[in-house]
Structure 1
Amino acid sequence: MEQERQHQGRENSGWCSQVKLWSGLVISIVLLSSCFIVSCVEKNWECCPSTWKSFGSSCYLISTERNFWAQSEQNCVAMGAHLVVINSEAEQNFIVQQLNESLSYFLGLSDLQGNGNWQWIDQTPYKDNVRLWHQHEPNFSAEECASIVFWSSRGWGWNDVFCDTNRNSICEMKKVYL
């Protein structure tokens, strides 16, 4: 009888060990699976068209074509974008890394009435937004469009220019989230 109880005790002990081991494994697998599923569900996949550059919540295309300001904006709109609206110095610093220092690029900023009332193409309030004009710019009311240009003595900055001059441009669109 004593031997039978000892034998049963060992069997129960072995069975309990196996149950504990399998329970631990099942709990671990469930926890890992839960973490994986939650991370997949919460993950936002951000996409830009293949030739566009990604920064923040936007995608940017540096145009290799030279056009007037209005035509540059139409070209951007045809791609689901608009001429770039620069909202921060960090955004400008990213953009200028993509630019050729010997070219000038239209921005989505204009004063089409020539009265000093500059407007961003997407209606971002000009007064509340960053302004990175070169020193003493804008300086001529007939120059009603803005460009970003590199001046060797000052680096990158904005300049008022004639809208009907041919320049490169920068298009911007919001990223697509999947």
Structure 2
Amino acid sequence: CPGNNQPATIVVRVGNNRPDLGTNPICNRFSGPLEEGKPLFLPCNPPMPGAFVSVHLEDTTLSQLSICEAFVYTDQALPIERCPQFRDQPPGSTATYNGKCYIFYNRQPLNFKDALSFCKSRGGTLVDESNPALQGFISWELWRRHRSDTSSQYWMGAVRDAQDRKNWKWINGEDVSVSFWNLPGGSENCARYDGSKGWLWSDTNCNSNLNYICQHQPKACGRPEQPPNSTMVAKNFNVGATIEYSCDEGHLLVGPVARTCLPTGFYNEFPPVCKR
């Protein structure tokens, strides 16, 4: 809507940098005349991970860009429905990122040991990995849940190395090689996402009672769409289950005869097609 048939350059960026969206990687760039009311389809090729999508107007004499509607979608995001669900978890507490499920518990603070035991009793664990993209995702999820409460704190699955107190280890035994400390050093043996420090990390007394995040693998792939003119047989759609396909009489099956639900929450093959 900047003026019919006016030339402009539109840039779409995708990434996990929230303060300055302009530094996120470029997903797609369009240069040419913009027709008022005509949609632009700007796919990321290859797909790009990120919690934030932004649209920028560049290299143009136009002073502003009016976007009437914007739709962001992906076929690689893990639906929340494929995550474990428990009766006592808070509403809206589940989020997914990069093939994993994260359940945020903020109503029953526990010490580190009990929080870890709670997550394990439900088939999960405390967050036991880090990278810039994951840190961006978690900090965003925590920020939007606690916009008016910067004092909130959440356990993470990192502990001080008993053999080398300058080193930290994940509860899975691996070294913490990528960290996001507010201030390095300290003397406590456990770590938390610190709301008072922009959700950077702080060392913490392990006996403190804090909120926590349980990290889970998906439990199911969900019921897939059944191809026309086919029969689909499956006992269930949980991880490890297999779906078998056959075509109606007079049709030829093109594609896999069977598909398996992987631990990622997705099937290992695209669905077949039944052709005459």
TM above 0.5: yes
Determine if the alignment matches structure 1 residue 122 to structure 2 residue 168: no
Q: Which residue of 2 aligns with 1:131?
A: 179
Aligned counterpart in structure 2 of residue 89 of structure 1, from 111, 128, 132: 132
Write the deviation string for residues 69-108 of structure 1: whole angstroms up to 9, x where unpaired. Answer: 0000000001101111232121121112222233010100
Q: Which residue of 1 aligns with 2:159?
A: 110
Determine if the alignment matches structure 1 residue 140 to structure 2 residue 186: yes
Q: Which residue of 1 aligns with 2:9?
A: none
CA contact (8 A) 1:81 1:172 kept: yes
Aligned-residue sequence identity (percent) comes to 27
Q: Which residue of 2 aligns with 1:171?
A: 214
Which structure shows the higher helix fraction?
Answer: 1
Separation in structure 1 between the aligned mates of residue 186 and residue 198 of structure 2, nearest angstrom: 21
Determine if the alignment matches structure 1 residue 75 to structure 2 residue 118: yes
Separation in structure 2 between the aligned mates of residue 122 and residue 174 of structure 1, nearest angstrom: 15
Structure 2: state its 5+ residue gaps.
1-75, 86-92, 220-238, 240-260, 262-276
Separation in structure 1 between the aligned mates of residue 217 and residue 174 of structure 2, nearest angstrom: 14
Say which structure, 1 or 2, has more relative contact order (CA 8 Å, 6+ apart).
1
Q: Which amino acid aligns with 1:140?
A: G
Bigger radius of gyration among the two: 1
CA contact (8 A) 1:86 1:92 kept: no
Q: Which residue of 1 aligns with 2:198?
A: 155
Separation in structure 2 between the aligned mates of residue 112 and residue 168 of structure 1, nearest angstrom: 23
Separation in structure 2 between the aligned mates of residue 103 and residue 166 of structure 1, nearest angstrom: 11
Separation in structure 1 between the aligned mates of residue 129 and residue 195 of structure 2, nearest angstrom: 16
Deviation, structure 1 residue 112:
5.9
Write the deviation string for residues 28-82 of structure 1: whole angstroms up to 9, x where unpaired. Answer: xxxxxxxxxxxxxxx9x87212452111021101112201000000000011011
Which structure shows the higher strand fraction?
Answer: 2
Q: Which residue of 2 aligns with 1:55?
A: 97
Q: Which residue of 1 aligns with 2:10?
A: none
Q: How many equivalent residue pairs?
A: 129
RMSD of aligned residue pairs (Cα, Å):
2.4
Q: Which residue of 1 aligns with 2:17?
A: none
Residue 53 to residue 86, structure 1, CA distance change in 2 (3 Å): same
Q: Which amino acid aligns with 1:67?
A: L
